Amino acid sequence: MKNPNGYGTVVKLSGKRRNPFAVRKTAGFNEKGYPIYINIGYAPTREAGMIMLAEYNKSPWDIEADKITLAELFELWKEKRMCKLGKSNASSLQSAYKHCKGLERMKYNQIKSYHMQDCIDSCGCGYSTQGAIKNLWGHLDRFAMELDVISKCYSDLLKSEPIPETKKKPFSNEEVQRVWDNQQLPWSDSLLFFLYSGFRISEVLEIKISNIDMESDIPTITEGIKTDAGKNRVVPIHSKIMPIVQNRIEQSKSGYLFEWNGKKLNQTQYRVIWADLMQQLQMQHTPHECRHTFRSRLDSAGANKVCIDRIMGHKSKGTGERVYTHKNIEELKMNIELITN
């Protein structure tokens, strides 16, 4: 009888062996589509192997610590731990693993800090990717410690290229007014939306029409994807950009607030649009500087610090439990409207 999907299998190996039956389970697939196996053990008979497989499925954490490879540990970590991470973080770590694949057949307890550091140094990428690789090794080491695979976290010794210092340049009041004066330019409405909402570019491009409430006394947008404090936060729509939001809703064919030829807009497409818009407006800014400008203007207008953190999706000591009652939303609306120009 065939075993259930994901249960594992017992296969007979060639040659004369004391324990000719291999007990294994598929942990995933490599880039060529070939299965990556977790080797559970070896048995003298098929029946003994099936018993071993059944015991393993009752307690899959009982692994052979001295035999598990990087590939096997990574697949188990993906199943047990990565699923609990944020979408962006998980995607970054999945990509980082590509730079560690040269070690995937190596037993994890034999991987030292210099092996890990070499993955970072030889990746040929900048500080962001290097940081992701370092972060991944940290996750895997902590997971391996839980399983008693290792007794020391070599990832603590790793170094990656530091994040370069950046000077955020907020839009001046004159520049904001210049955008208003040039609303005839295509996509100028998106720039104004950034300036009066505080959303990140990754969040703006994910805003669905279904997450916009224009019918309530206080129209709001529910969005946010990066952090626990930012996920699914409710942001009142500033009165100055209400017509922009309404117009985009009426024109939407894809179900997203901002789209390209009737389809969901991605960051690469938008950054091309942004570069062209900056050239026409004779400005030099990044989309993230809109977010910086938004916070600076709220702060200058005397907005409540806790409200600013709620609107921006930042963790705040004074925020407490994030419950969006009508009173909360009224307070957020009052603070966001402090930006009057």
310 and 197 both lie in a single domain: yes
Entry pTM: 0.54
pLDDT above 90 for 3: no
Helix or strand holding residue 220 (H, E) = strand 220-223
- The token duo for 330 is 């009224």
117 and 35 both lie in a single domain: no
Q: Which of 1-15, 160-174, 264-278, 316-330 has the highest mean pLDDT?
A: 264-278
33 and 107 both lie in a single domain: no
Yes or no: say if 224 and 230 are a contact pair by the CB < 8 Å rule: yes
111 and 144 both lie in a single domain: yes
Cα–Cα dist 197/224, whole Å: 12
The DSSP-derived string for 85-154 is S-HHHHHHHHHHHGGGGGGTTSBGGG--HHHHHHHHHTS---HHHHHHHHHHHHHHHHHHHHTTS-SS-G
Q: Which amino acid is at 208?
A: K
191 and 306 both lie in a single domain: yes
Confidence at residue 62, expressed as pLDDT on a 0 to 100 scale: 54
- Average pLDDT over every residue of 73-93: 87
302 and 191 both lie in a single domain: yes
In this predicted model, what pLDDT tens digit does every residue of 297-320 receive, in sequence order? Answer: 999 999 999 999 899 987 665 444
256 in any annotated domain: yes
In this predicted model, what pLDDT tens digit does every residue of 4-24 receive, in sequence order? Answer: 777 888 999 988 888 899 888
Yes or no: say if 208 and 248 are a contact pair by the CB < 8 Å rule: no
Confidence at residue 59, expressed as pLDDT on a 0 to 100 scale: 59
Yes or no: say if 99 and 133 are a contact pair by the CB < 8 Å rule: yes
3-state helix, strand, coil in the chain (%, to 5): 50, 10, 40
Yes or no: say if 265 and 287 are a contact pair by the CB < 8 Å rule: no
Name the more confident of 254 and 55: 254
pLDDT above 80 for 158: yes
Cα–Cα dist 50/112, whole Å: 35
211 and 310 both lie in a single domain: yes
Cα–Cα dist 132/98, whole Å: 11
Cα–Cα dist 186/277, whole Å: 8
Mean pLDDT of the chain: 87
Confidence at residue 259, expressed as pLDDT on a 0 to 100 scale: 94
CATH number of the CATH domain containing 118: 1.10.150.130
- The token duo for 293 is 């400008």
The phi, psi pair for 316, rounded to 5°, reads -135, 140
Name the more confident of 126 and 1: 126
- Average pLDDT over every residue of 212-232: 76
Tally of structural domains, the chain:
3
Neighbouring CB atoms inside 10 A of 302's CB total 8
Neighbouring CB atoms inside 10 A of 164's CB total 7
Which segment of 79-93, 121-135, 145-159 scores lowest on mean pLDDT? Answer: 79-93
- In terms of residue numbers, what domain contains 331? 173-336
119 in any annotated domain: yes
192 and 277 both lie in a single domain: yes
Confidence at residue 323, expressed as pLDDT on a 0 to 100 scale: 56
Residue with tokens 């994901």: 6
Instruction: Report in angstroms the alpha-carbon separations of 289 from 104, 167, 168, 230, 272.
Output: 40, 10, 6, 18, 16
Confidence at residue 228, expressed as pLDDT on a 0 to 100 scale: 47
